[in-house]
Amino acid sequence: MTINDTWGYKSYDTNFKSTETLLHNLIDIASKGGNYLLNVGPTSEGIIPQPEVDRLRAMGEWMKVNARRFMGRRPRPFAALPGVNSSVTANRVTDFGQWRATLKPGKIYIHLFKWPVGKFDLDGVKGQVSKAYLLADADQRP
């Protein structure tokens, strides 16, 4: 995928995707078992345009905290396809358009695109969830 609208450098293409969009794409693709190959378009002098550098750096900073969600992971453990709106009810979020999941043995990583209001239910999980915490929390508080 391109960071803007075209493959290769085009001086007139300044329609750069936001870092948020690029991260959503990364998470969405990883949750389906894929890899995200992101294209940059250097100038004829070999310089990568600053907006691309800025987005790549921001993604790198995000990956410092969140990379373990992706290394050695498997696709989502749920039958429903992300992107298909299932249901959103009062105090309960089950809308696959708002989140994705990846899996490692004994762990489910939930990627929330929009913070839920109220309770986040995870239907279809077998077994007992023993702990939940934000990856950015070094103390792993529940």
Helices (H), 67-114: none
| pLDDT per position as a tens digit, 6-19 | 998 999 999 999 99
pTM of the predicted protein model: 0.76
**Among residues 93, 130, 88, which one has the least CA distance to residue 108?**
130
| pLDDT per position as a tens digit, 37-88 | 999 989 999 999 999 999 999 999 999 888 877 776 666 666 554 433 344 3
Q: What is the distance between the alpha carbons of residues 130 and 137, in angstroms, rounded to a whole number?
A: 17
**Among residues 128, 89, 82, 94, which one has the least CA distance to residue 108?**
128
Q: What is the distance between the alpha carbons of residues 20 and 54, in angstroms, rounded to a whole number?
A: 12
